[in-house]
Structure 1
């Protein structure tokens, strides 16, 4: 049997061992707490950095957000290099007579567009063949409003480059068929890059679309330009502030989106127009007041004329 002294020594050793274990656990806990704190700090720093990386491009693209619509309009007027064919609000009118030579007593369909916009591409592929037939027959005028805000979804400033090319072609060709065919070619489902896809489109690829539209080689060769970029940025700042272009229904009510369409200057609510199940083409024809069998027939004019409101808005 162990002596009393031996038992006392063993008891003291067990107490010492237990204290050492407790101290080790406490030390490990402190280390884990410090590591956790460091991890949290690193995550916070990374989150802030990521937020800054995401915020900066949007912030830069929205430098004029504090401007009023009148101030944005004044800035647009002060741009030195502008498309010679564009009016003070950025519209370029096409008719069977040419550029800025409207046909009298027929509706004017205005389209606000961006070459990167997938919705614009879908709208074009659905509606533009019909609108082109109507334009060639003198049944409508078409007013184009190119924009370039879609650069935020491309990796090569596609919207700005494509819009510059379109504006140069309009200024130097002025053949409505060439202009509309170029737009159609750019919106071809197999050509238009998908938003955010990272796909790069070369200048030569876009030039090929212009050549296929009938634009002359000399105009195509000179169409790669950035001379309208400052004007396009001013348009991007001004146009979304125009309350008459804001969505009147749907998820984006109170905001301007593309494609936006007006008829004789009146906002055309695509959501409302298609509420009966019609596609965009059928809805547009109904809004203009013309049946599909009259499309492309000279002398058969839409019932709303050059001043009437879209008929769907009266339903």
Structure 2
């Protein structure tokens, strides 16, 4: 569903990654930079503490505070990688393999009425009658893992009720955050499953990838393990697609298209075309079930 200019002017701002600090050339500049860095660190710490308190109070999940702190660390450490990856991952359209069931917006749509992603959904986007939810995710992104843990039950329920459709769009920008390019390898593996076994299998693969998400900087599941996940998801013949990284070019194009659309971090969540964030004391963070439910209900009024 397209946004009107009025809606665009009213929509909430999405995350923007922090900028990589510049090195100071003189002692005075270095001291200023140090002060600024300390202030930024204090700001990030305060935000992390607030998010942790909110989620612990709302959901009481054991260990969630630690995960949220990891989220902030990933954002701080990897923000500068986004534009570097964007520039490095440009591919010519003529040389890129395009997966079956993919939309023109580089996603995979799931609905209760058409779980196999029929041709209408693939060609025109979200089917009429559903509130469109769009998720931009990186399988190495710790905050995406937290979002998946907290919001998946709500989104699955709204999907089963026929209220929403969900479009999953890969946003593999944390390539350098692992020692084995896990971000791109995992995205390619999930796309292989979508191509071979359809969108429901892709969603099952997505769940498996988040359930086995490596820590930032750690080595992720190898190709054999990704192939085993794909077989569990229903794609028995995914081995060559995974090892040869058949859809790497398409994944890179998906990243470029998302950046062109204004996406700059993960998870980025749109409900009915509007980017959704959680605002606490003037600070923005990833949305939780409450924000999603509010916007879904608002879109159905």
TM-score, normalization by structure 1: 0.59
Aligned counterpart in structure 2 of residue 160 of structure 1, from 175, 179, 184:
184
- 1:193 corresponds to: 214
**Which one scores higher on RCO, CA 8 angstroms, separation ≥ 6?**
2
Aligned counterpart in structure 1 of residue 250 of structure 2, from 215, 231, 252:
231
User: Does the aligned pair in 2 maintain the 1:103–1:140 contact within 8 Å?
Assistant: no
Which structure's CA Rg is the greater one?
Answer: 1
User: Does the aligned pair in 1 maintain the 2:277–2:285 contact within 8 Å?
Assistant: no
User: Does the aligned pair in 1 maintain the 2:82–2:173 contact within 8 Å?
Assistant: no
Q: Map 1:18-167 to 2 at 5 A.
A: 61-63=85-87, 77-96=93-112, 97=114, 98-100=116-118, 101=121, 102-167=126-191
Structure-1 separation of matches of 2:144 and 2:217: 15
User: Does the aligned pair in 1 maintain the 2:109–2:167 contact within 8 Å?
Assistant: yes
Aligned counterpart in structure 1 of residue 299 of structure 2, from 291, 296, 304:
304
- 1:287 corresponds to: 295
- 1:265 corresponds to: 273
Relative to structure 1, the CA distance from residue 236 to residue 275 in structure 2 (aligned partners, 3 Å threshold; closer, same or farther) is closer
User: Does the aligned pair in 1 maintain the 2:231–2:237 contact within 8 Å?
Assistant: no
User: Does the aligned pair in 2 maintain the 1:91–1:144 contact within 8 Å?
Assistant: yes
Matched, 1:203 2:219: no
Aligned counterpart in structure 2 of residue 240 of structure 1, from 259, 267, 279:
259
Structure-2 separation of matches of 1:274 and 1:203: 43
Unaligned runs of at least 5 residues, structure 1:
1-55, 66-71, 246-255, 290-302, 309-315
Unaligned runs of at least 5 residues, structure 2:
1-79
Relative to structure 1, the CA distance from residue 200 to residue 106 in structure 2 (aligned partners, 3 Å threshold; closer, same or farther) is closer
TM-score, normalization by structure 2: 0.61
Matched pairs, number: 215
Relative to structure 1, the CA distance from residue 240 to residue 265 in structure 2 (aligned partners, 3 Å threshold; closer, same or farther) is same
Structure-1 separation of matches of 2:185 and 2:284: 38
User: Does the aligned pair in 2 maintain the 1:156–1:201 contact within 8 Å?
Assistant: no
User: Does the aligned pair in 2 maintain the 1:274–1:283 contact within 8 Å?
Assistant: no
RMSD: 3.5
For the residue of structure 2 that corresponds to 1:115, the secondary structure is: coil
Report the CA distance between 1:64 and its aligned residue.
Answer: 6.2
- 1:182 corresponds to: 205
User: Does the aligned pair in 2 maintain the 1:153–1:195 contact within 8 Å?
Assistant: yes
User: Does the aligned pair in 1 maintain the 2:99–2:191 contact within 8 Å?
Assistant: yes
- 2:57 corresponds to: none
Report the CA distance between 1:122 and its aligned residue.
Answer: 0.8
